[in-house]
Structure 1
């Protein structure tokens, strides 16, 4: 039986960041999780980092998210240099509400002042289009632009970079899926799908949307799990070049059929082609109650039925593009009670969690991982964070 000081369960963006920071402290650290599956029919768990592009903004919904975003981007250059892997494109991030000012725009100036950030406000849709002619928005729109280091990240490469730094510090990376965590007098024993057994004094459970499944925790977190559908629109090289400097977009539309669109400029995917990525919420979105529903969604979910609706919304925003083809991808997000991550020690001493990231974790996963690792190592949160910021709620 392999023995470690700390085991991180979950090899996603948060788990990999936490494991990296834990490995700096000369402890025996393992991270356990499966690789990205080649065959979804054979996979037990899934993740939303199986992707090439995620929005990176700085000014978040509140001061906690803003601090997490800023602390993360401030580490990107170091991570890229240490790993030799480039994952960050600071092309800027545009926020737009087509109906005018909202609570986010209202408080943006105050958050920007508190964190010494800058942005460019836009009073009308035409003012936005004057700067970014590829986009189209109603004249009633208001918005703001955050310039570099806002933009986008490649989550696959960020994960790869974090694990590369973890490996440099003698971290142990194990490809396995943990199904059981058992507490005993001397710590924890964890058992995998393949029947392997590992032991650690402490555990960080960072299993994303799968944190409540299997026998990972005696008390389940109060999380809502929801599907999300991504539209990918393939562009030719000429269109890709024309949109190369397009800022990422957060579009707070809610027209009854689509809500909360995000859009990212064309980036290259593993098939060699360049795709614009667009995601949003829809009334038909599915809320999951059990792992069988999640597995069915990833393996056989009918996301393609929404291609025409998503295509129409995309072409309203970028009316001059002429995509060569469209396809969809299936994702999952989880939502916490208070809209911020759950980070803390559970009712079982030595078992910690970092989950409930509300669809925002990619852009601030490094800081979430750092906060979780600091808590394990120091038994308190880092300066500037309070317990209530990440309070855990149970079912």
Structure 2
């Protein structure tokens, strides 16, 4: 059995960030989590939401607190790139497109937040079509208002950001163990951990950051109030010439009036692992559901009916960027983790076990701050000034 002071279970975006911060405090830190599946259709382990090439980032969030969390995380992007030598950030800007007549998921009014928080922006009110001269490739209804948030808003490569966090954590002495944890048990002074391969580790404190899999592996004495939710994304393939033409396109957050495709987010075309260029769009749909256990989550990733709304995704994507020449469309499956109050749970669960989970689909952008909060809580109950502690407790 190998001993550590701190072990992070889950080497995703929250876990990799927490491990980096913990390794600034201690030389005995490990983060345990498997790599990306070679084939999602036959994989028999866990999945993660960072298996992607681009995620939207912006300061303006669903509330003042979520905006400040995002701002702190984004302030560290260039430092992470410099220390790791891994680029992952493109500040291409972001368009937030909304209407007073559309039900959205914001906790506070965006137009008020962007002003009170002094976020750099240009506001195009409903009926003001002057934005079309600045962003000629887009088309949105005249019933919507638009906020353009420039640099530092834009997009990140979540895979690359995770690698950057891991590289710096290793530089600081942390150990990355590519395994799946299947059992956790406290024995008074330590937490004992067992992986799927049978390996055993022991730590003084443990942080669990496994998202939708939190309640799947006996990691805590009781289930936590987290809800998994399926998510569908569509990839619209374009030529390399079209990708070059659209290289400066901002990301999009668009609250539509569509009956099927809701809460749209979109990233401009980038090259994916297969060598092709894709515009990525994700959204909520009427068939999104809530897997309750490991088997149901695995079934979603292996056999989920993500193509059921392919025609609607194509229709909406073509409507947003009508001048873009698409070559083909395909869907991919993702999963979110939600909480009752729309804030992540970052809390102590037992004497020596802690959790950080529940990002509501915006965990990539803010993951560095989430890792910082969780690491501070583990080490000495430290919490960032001005950050309401109760919002992040288990309720």
Task: Report if TM-score (shorter chain) is over 0.5.
Answer: yes
Distance 1:98 1:319, change over 3 A: farther
TM-score by length of 2: 0.96
Q: Is the 8 A contact 2:73 2:365 kept in 1?
A: yes
> For 1:44-66, what per-residue CA distance to the aligned partner results, in whole angstroms no more than 9, with x for missing partners?
11011000000001011111111
Matches of 1:87 and 1:22, distance apart in 2:
22
Asked if 1:365 is matched to 2:355, the reply is no
CA contact (8 A) 2:7 2:207 kept: yes
1:1-395 → structure 2 map (5 Å cutoff): 1-40=1-40, 41-98=42-99, 107-123=109-125, 124=127, 126-346=129-349, 348-393=350-395
| RMSD (CA atoms) | 1.6
Deviation at residue 148 of structure 1 after TM alignment: 0.4
- State the number of aligned residues: 392
Separation of aligned partners in 1, 2:236 and 2:103: 29
Segments of structure 1 that go 5 or more residues without pairing to the other structure are: none
Secondary structure of the residue that 1:60 maps to in structure 2? Answer: coil
User: Are residues 102 and 331 of structure 1, via their aligned partners in 2, closer, same or farther at CA, if it must alter by over 3 Å?
Assistant: closer
| 3-state SS, counterpart of residue 266 of structure 1 | strand
SS at 2:25 equivalent: coil
When residues 236 and 125 of structure 1 are mapped into structure 2, their CA distance, relative to the original with a 3 A threshold, is farther
Counterpart Cα distance in 2 of 1:97 and 1:379:
39
- How far off is 1:105 after superposition? 11
Query: What SS is found at the alignment partner of 2:217?
Result: coil
Question: Aligned equivalents of 2:249 and 2:270: distance in 1?
Answer: 11
Q: 1:254 to 1:210 in 2, by over 3 A?
A: farther
Is the partner of 2:46 in helix, strand or coil? coil
**Which digits, 9 at most, give the CA deviation of each residue in 1:170-193, with x for residues without a partner?**
100001000111011111001111
Tell me the CA shift for residue 302 of structure 1. Answer: 2.3
| 1: CA distance, partners of 2:64 / 2:330 | 36
- Runs (4 or more) in structure 1 with deviation over 6 Å come to none
TM-score with structure 1 setting the length:
0.96
- Once the two structures are TM-superposed, the CA of residue 125 in structure 1 deviates from its matched residue by 6.0
- Shift of residue 74 of structure 1? 0.3
Q: For 2:197, what is the secondary structure of its paired residue? A: coil
Relative to structure 2, which stretch is displaced further, 301-310 or 100-109?
100-109
Call closer, same or farther: CA 1:125–1:99 in 2, change over 3 Å.
Answer: farther
- Partner of 2:166: helix, strand, or coil? helix
Alpha-carbon distance between aligned partners in 2 of 1:187 and 1:246, rounded to the nearest angstrom:
51
Contact 2:124 2:147 in 1 (8 A): yes
Structure 1 residue 128: Cα displacement: 2.6
Q: Look up the SS of the partner of 1:24 in the other structure.
A: helix
Whole-Å separation in 1 of the counterparts to 2:257 and 2:186: 46
Contact 1:374 1:381 in 2 (8 A): yes
Q: Report which stretch shifted further, 296-305 or 331-340.
A: 296-305
- The CA deviation string for residues 127-150 of structure 1, in whole angstroms up to 9 with x for no partner, is 332210100011111010110010
Q: How far apart, in 2, do the equivalents of 1:22 and 1:48 lie?
A: 23
